[in-house]
Amino acid sequence: MEVITVANNKGGVGKTMQCYQLVCHLAHKGNKVLVIDLDSQANLSSTFGVQIQRTLIPEWLIGDIEAEEVVVPIDGGDEFHDNISLIPASRHLANLSKLMILSEAEIRKGAGRKERLLKIRLEAIAENYDYVVIDTPPMLGDELIMSLVASNRILIPTQAQDYSIDGLEELMDTFEIIKETENPKLKFNIIPSMVNARRKIEKQRLEELSQSFSITPPIRNLVQMQESISTKKPVFMMGKKTKGADDYKRLWKSLNL
């Protein structure tokens, strides 16, 4: 089982888009995929057609309930959707940090450090899935730390703009700390996201970015990507020759996914 977290502390950079396309791609290839929505905005859950009143993720993390009680199947209408299971989010998840503090004594008794909780829960169900894909909120909070501890790799969508590139440094510091302390095998990939390469300044920023990090082929800013979300169809179902399908095909190849 490979655990992949999609993260960036900057908002609106295409994290949820990346998760949606990745999950559908992996499931379409025949993999069993568990999707975990750790963002209280619950955008990924609703893209998979699931809206719930109150998520049970905190109860699952502290071990009060089993995975079967938080996982829901999704009903997308296509055959590959049968390969996807979802742990949905709700607004309630915004209180995750507070809930974890309240449960801290209990957590210490049971599982040790709270940043390891997700890892422990996933290890218990590793046999059921080929991949776990985690969407995270735009901040460096408990959700992200737990995900980094539990993951094999982190995909970082980044816009080719100044503020995005500045924010990346903070995330990379967190990555390094987790790698040194909890998860030495953690890898990362930086994915240029929503790129308009015809803009000179974006091209320049991409070049600068590639001097500091190795970056993947970019995903362009395309109207069809937004259509993919609103029609709830991954790009590979929107016609083989579309630019979005092309971009993702190149990306998956470069990531061996």
Contact positions vs ligand ATP (CB under 6 A):
11-17, 39, 41, 43, 138, 194, 219, 221-222, 225-226, 229
Q: Other C-beta atoms within 10 Å of 82: how many?
A: 13
Instruction: Identify the DSSP state of 213.
Output: S
Q: Is 41 helix (H, G, I), strand (E, B) or coil?
A: coil
Q: Which residues, at least 6 apart from 240, have a Cβ–Cβ distance to it below 8 Å?
A: none
Residue with Cβ nearer ligand ATP (41 or 83): 41
Q: How far is the CB of 249 from ligand ATP (least distance, A)?
A: 14
Binding flag, residue 16, Mg ion (CB under 5 A): yes
Residue with Cβ nearer ligand ATP (39 or 202): 39
Residue with Cβ nearer ligand ATP (158 or 183): 158
Q: How far is the CB of 143 from Mg ion (least distance, A)?
A: 12
Q: Taking Cα atoms as reference points, which of 54, 186, 173, 180 lies closest to residue 119? A: 186
Q: First and final CA of the chain: distance in angstroms?
A: 13
Among 15, 25, 28, 121, the residue binding Mg ion under the rule CB under 5 A is 15
The answer to whether 194 and 13 are in contact (CB under 8 A) is: yes
User: Which of ligand ATP, Mg ion, none is residue 84 near (CB under 5 to 8 Å by kind)?
Assistant: none
Residue with Cβ nearer ligand ATP (179 or 232): 232
Q: Which residues, at least 6 apart from 193, have a Cβ–Cβ distance to it below 8 Å?
A: 13, 14, 17, 18, 157, 158, 159, 218, 219
Residue with Cβ nearer ligand ATP (10 or 116): 10
The residue range among 38-46, 105-113, 144-152, 234-242 that interacts with Mg ion, by the rule CB under 5 A, is 38-46
Q: How far is the CB of 125 from ligand ATP (least distance, A)?
A: 25
Q: Judging by DSSP bridges, how do beta strands 72-73 and 2-6 pair with one another?
A: unpaired
Binding flag, residue 10, Mg ion (CB under 5 A): no
Residue with Cβ nearer ligand ATP (150 or 225): 225
C-alpha–C-alpha distance, residues 238 and 162, integer Å: 32
Q: Other C-beta atoms within 10 Å of 40: how many?
A: 18
Q: How far is the CB of 131 from ligand ATP (least distance, A)?
A: 19
C-alpha–C-alpha distance, residues 199 and 204, integer Å: 9
User: Which of ligand ATP, Mg ion, none is residue 33 near (CB under 5 to 8 Å by kind)?
Assistant: none
Q: Which residues pair with 187 in a beta bridge?
A: 153
Q: How far is the CB of 62 from Mg ion (least distance, A)?
A: 25
Number of residues that bind Mg ion (CB under 5 A): 3
User: Which of ligand ATP, Mg ion, none is residue 57 near (CB under 5 to 8 Å by kind)?
Assistant: none
C-alpha–C-alpha distance, residues 5 and 9, integer Å: 13
Q: Which residues bind Mg ion (CB under 5 A)?
A: 15-16, 43
